[in-house]
Copies of this chain bind each other. A is one copy, B any other.
Amino acid sequence: MGSNSFRLVVYGYEPGRYWQHVDEIREAVRVGQGMGDAGKLKKEPMERAVRTAKVFGAFCRASEIDEVTAVATSAIRSAGNGEELLDRIREESGLAAKVIDEDEEARYGYLAIANSSTIEDGFGIDIGGGSVQAMRLEARRMTQSGSWQLGAVRVSEAFLPDDGEASAKDLKALRKHVKSELEEAEWFVPEDGKGSARAVGIGGTIRNLASAAERRAGLPDTDAQGYLLTRDALEELIEELAGMPPQKRGRVPGIKPDRGDVILGGAVVLGALMDRAGVDELEATDAGLREGVFFERFLEDADPPLFPDVRGSSVMNLAHRYQQDLQHPRHVARLSLEILDGLEAAGLTESSPEDRELLWAAGMLHDIGTAIDYDDHHKHSRYLILNARLPGFTPRELYLIALIARYHRKGEPDASELGKLAHKGDDKRLGVLAGTIRLAEQLERSRDQSVRAVVVSTENGEVRIEPDAPADASVAIWSARRNADLLERALDRAVAVAPGR
């Protein structure tokens, strides 16, 4: 129950296997509307809050949700009559919400950030409707945090006109306010002698701003997960948004209509926070406070409740969600890496640690599309990877994994499918990685792991791939031969799949 919106999110999970965001109702309740400095929730916003909570309560009962955790943040926390509202909600909706204090709010934000990005050291930023939380991370632990009444709804009401454009003077006043508020937080500054720190942001304001910047740049829409919002791109957005009335801001691609009137305030606050921390770019994630609350439950055996490896956990999460048995994908991933390492050792390719990681991920996920339909399952795997999210990877990495998985079967990859995310050399990279997985898939065609390993060598300029396999793997070998052409073209040399010695 945030200051801007109330959100009911349903997670489904099997402990230790997977979790999934299965349902949601969001309502822009604006419970803090018009609260100003009086410190009291107003009547009409309270009525909206109660009505919405009743829908949420009915939804939970009807959907047979096993456990409900309801939390309230800034507006309700700081209002003199916040508890009165929660009492009414408890009575009329059956939802027993708890006000979380500033430290808890920062901690949940931290859990969301550390579990959905690979940040180890740097800053975390969470912009809500009522308050803003910032944290310092060292070695994936939160070592400092602070909370300020600088949420997007609050500052928009206080500093920006609710009709017409915002003037340079308005923006300046808001910036100055943020700056003075942050003054005391001595830990929230650039570190001496170090370059720009890494920063990760959560919350709807940041997600919308990153999404708007992503679309402005003509990049494929990935809902901003893992997108790097630069300070420059943010400034351009601020200028664009300030130059239009609040009613129009919600129509900027990437900005949700019901956020239009508070997005500019949030953007200015974010700019000032980035300036203060001395960061040139901020990584957006799709997560929020709600994920922090959920992860505390899902990862309750860990202290703090963190995934040991965010990228690996993301991949395994998807793999488990769409597949019962992982023996086959695990083996394809392993054989793929053996082939890639062999090619590298033979001096035929140069692959980065990142390439290995992408190949592993594509190997684990290459068949998930069969959950949609067996026919064209390679294309469905691509669709699922692109749409089901892989926190910890950048949009470019996500697309690469999706394309490598897509081309484990049929067709020929083309870097143009990456659009503006393409880099030089991607045609060859995709050819080698997809060609490798395609060969591994054929060697594991009977799904019984009978091809235990592969040895790669070169002989007279030809690549030799020797599977360590019993005699009856002959069809697998034979069909691997018929599927070596993609790798051959990528390496520009013949690839022979020969029975092992």
Contact = CB atoms under 8 A, between A and B. Distances in A.
A374 interface: yes
A376 interface: yes
Contacts of A52: 475
A64 B20 CA distance: 27
A54 B22 contact: no
Interface in A59-83: 59, 61-64
A448 B21 contact: no
Q: Of A25, A446, A478, A479, which is in contact with the most chain B CB atoms at under 10 Å from its CB?
A: A446
A235 interface: no
Interface stretch (A97-105, A170-178, A380-388, A395-403): A380-388
B373 A21 contact: yes
Contacts of A370: 22-23
Interface in A364-414: 370-376, 380, 383-384, 387-389
A474 interface: yes
A87 interface: no
Contacts of A23: 370, 374
Contact of A380 (B63, B325, B387): B387
A448 B58 contact: yes
A131 to B, nearest CB: 25
Contacts of A223: 375-376
Contact of A389 (B371, B373, B380, B446): B373
A445 interface: yes
A24 interface: yes
Nearest to A9: B374
A427 B268 CA distance: 42
Given A447-B62, A448-B62, A55 B475 contact: yes
Interface string A465-481: 00000001011101100
A51 interface: yes
A481 to B, nearest CB: 13
A314 to B, nearest CB: 13
Contact of A55 (B25, B64, B325, B446): B446
Interface in A275-324: 286
B372 A475 contact: no
B372 A376 contact: no
B374 A387 contact: no
Nearest to A21: B374
A475 B59 CA distance: 12
A478 B63 contact: no
A458 interface: no
Interface in A324-354: 325, 327-328
A448 B380 contact: no
B374 A388 contact: no
A55 B445 contact: yes
A21 to B, nearest CB: 5
Contacts of A27: 475, 479
Contacts of A54: 472, 475
Contacts of A387: 372-373, 376, 380
A105 B446 CA distance: 28
Given A51-B475, A387-B380, A447 B63 contact: yes
A449 interface: yes
Interface string A6-22: 00000000000000111
A230 interface: no
B374 A447 contact: no
A24 B374 contact: yes
A187 B399 CA distance: 57
A450 interface: yes
Given A59-B446, A376-B387, 11 more contacts: A20-B373, A21-B375, A51-B475, A52-B475, A54-B475, A55-B476, A58-B446, A58-B450, A286-B375, A372-B384, A380-B387
Interface of A: 20-25, 27, 51-52, 54-55, 58-59, 61-64, 223, 286, 325, 327-328, 370-376, 380, 383-384, 387-389, 445-450, 472, 474-476, 478-479
